[in-house]
Structure 1
Amino acid sequence: MVPPCSKGFEFNLQCGPKLYPGEDIAFHFHPHLTEKQLARNHYEGSKWGTQEISNSVPFKAGDCFEARICCACETYKVEVNGKVVCEFKHRIPACKVTHFGIEGGIIVDKIEFVREENPNVPIPNVTPIPKGMCPDRRIRIKGKTPPGCKRFYVDLQCGPKVNANEDIAFRFDVRLDEKKVVRNHCADSKWGKEESDGESPFKVGECFEISIHCYQDIYRVKVNGNCFCDFAHRITCDKVTHVVVAGECTVFQVDFDPPEQDPLHPVPSLAQFDPINRSVYWIRYTVLCVYWLIQLHTLITHTFKRTCKTDVICERALSVLVESAPRPC
C-alpha cells in the first residue's frame, strides 16, 4: 500500500545485501509521486547509468497495489495491477542479482518469488536448433559454475548424439582448473588446432551468460555481455543442427534468437535487405528524385521567364531611344 503522505518509493534488484550505495543495482525502479514521474536506472561501480523516465505513474497515495517484476531474456518487465507499465533492458547480467531491496514511503504486505519448479536443464543437454544454424542467429546459455566445478563445454554439433561420431563445428571448452577457455572443431573424428588466447572470464561459484552469435564467417562469443573471442568457421554453419552443453555446470536456460546489431560486424548491404525493405527503399528514392526534378523544373522556368521579361524591356527601351534620336536633315 502507498501511504497518503508518501512522496515515492524504490524497488532495487541488487547484487548484494547492503542498501544503497553499498551494492551494484541491476534495476532501480523509482516512482516519484510528487513529480508524477516513473524513473528507471542501474547503479554500477559507484556510478548511476542513463536514467529512463516516463510521465505516467501507476500508483496513487492511499491506494493498494500489486506489482510484479518479470525477468525476461533481454529485459525486466514491470506489471502493476495486471498492466505492463515499463520494460528495462538488462545492463548488468541478471544472474548477478542476489537481493531485492525496498526503500521509501510504502507499506509492504507480502513479497514472494515465483519460478519454475525445476529450472535446471538436465546435463548433458542436447537442444535442437530451430531450422538449423544460419547467419544472424544467436544462441544464449545461462547457468552457474557450482563449487568444485573444473570443466564444462558447449558444442555446436552436426547431429544429436553426445560423445559419438558427430562432427563438431565449434567447441567452447571452459577449463576452470587450467584458467583458460579452449576453442576447437572436430571433423571425421579428428580434432583441429586449438585456440586458447584471452583470459578466462569464468569463476567457480558464479553465474554466467554465454552468447554465441553466428555471422557469415565467424562465431562471436560474448560472456556476461562482453566480447570474449571470435572463431572462424571450419565447418559451414548450415551443417550445425544441435547445441550440446555438458560437464560440471548448472544450466538454467538455452534459447535462440536473432542477434542485436553488433558495431564490429559489417552493416548488411542493400542486396541483403528483405524484399519489403528493398521496396520501401526504392519508393523513397523515387519520390526524392521526383521532388528534386520538380524543384529543378521550377527554377529553370522561373529563370527563363525573368530572362524573357528582361529581353522585352531592353527591346522597348531601345526602340524609344531610336525614335527620340534627332533625325538628320
Structure 2
Amino acid sequence: MAFSSFHNPTMPFTGSIQGGLFDGKTITITGQVFPGADRFHVNLQCGSLANADIALHVNPRYDSYPGYVVVNTLQHSSWGAEERKQNSPIAAGSSFTLAITVRHDGYELNVNGCHFMKYGHRIPFQRVDTISIAGKVGVFTIAFQGSMFPPHQHFPSYPGFAAYPLFPQPSYPGFPAQPALPSSVPAVPYLGVISGGIHPGKTITIQGVVSPNAERFMVNLSFCLGIALHYNPRFNENTVVHNTKLREKWGKEERLGVMPFQRGQPFVLTICCEAHSFRIVVNGNHTHSYNHRYTQFHEINILEVNGDISLSSILN
C-alpha cells in the first residue's frame, strides 16, 4: 500500500481513502484551527453520500474553555453513545497534527505526537473508504501511510504541482517505500508541525543519510496557502533548487552551483530563519541565503521532508 496525500484541500473536504483501511494504516491530518472557532470535525465514513454511516467522528468543540473533543459513530442515521475527552489538546487558533492509526480493536488517536485516546470499533473498519473534514479549520495535508509498501518508486509531486514538474506524475500521488523504523526515528516521508512556528532566530536541524542511488529530495517550510521555502537537492542535475510557492504559483527558482550533499553519505542540514532570509548550512558550511518572499512568519508552521534519504533526527 502506497503513501499518498492531499495538499491544501478546499474546505469542506470529502475524499477517497486509497486502498481503504487495514490494521496498521495511519491517516495524518495537519492543519490550523481558526481563531474563535466553535468546532470542526474529521469523519472516517462508509461512502461519500450525505446519509453515509460514519465509523469515526472526531469533533473538537470550543463552546467552553479550554475545549473538549467528542468522538462518536453514526450508524443507520442514528448517533451512538458519545465519548468525551476534556481539555482538548487542539486549541482554537493553533496548528496541530492529528494521527489516526487503525488497529484490529479500535482507532488510536495521537495529537501533536502524543497519545490522545483509543476508540473501539463500532463499525467494521473494512467498510470505511472516505474521509470528510469540515468546520472552522484549515487543512494543510491529509496523508495516508500503511505498513505494506510496493517496490521503490520515484518521488512524485503533490496534487496541484503540475506547473512545477519536479517528479514523475502518476495518476494518484504515491511515495517510495521505507523500511520499518523505531518510533524514535522520523520516517520518510516526514510531515510535522514546526514547534512555535517560524520567526527570526528559529533554527531547524535535519540529520540523515542520502540514499546511495539518490536522484533528489526536498524540504518544505509550508503554510496554509503555499510553501515559504522549497529546498530541493537534485543529484541527477547536480544542483540545489530553492523556490517559493504562493497560492498555487511557483516563483523564480534559485539554483546553487555546488552540490553540498553526497550519495550514500550522512548529512546535517540546518535552516536558520534570519530577519531578511533563510540561512542554509550543510555539514557546518554556509551554502546559501534565500531572501524571504513570504514574511508572515507565524503562519509558516509545517515541515515536510521527502525523497531519497533516510532520517536520523529532526530538531525544530
TM-score, normalised with respect to structure 2: 0.44
More strand by share: 2
Q: Which has the bigger relative contact order, CA under 8 A and spacing at least 6?
A: 2
More helix by share: 1
TM-score, normalised with respect to structure 1: 0.42
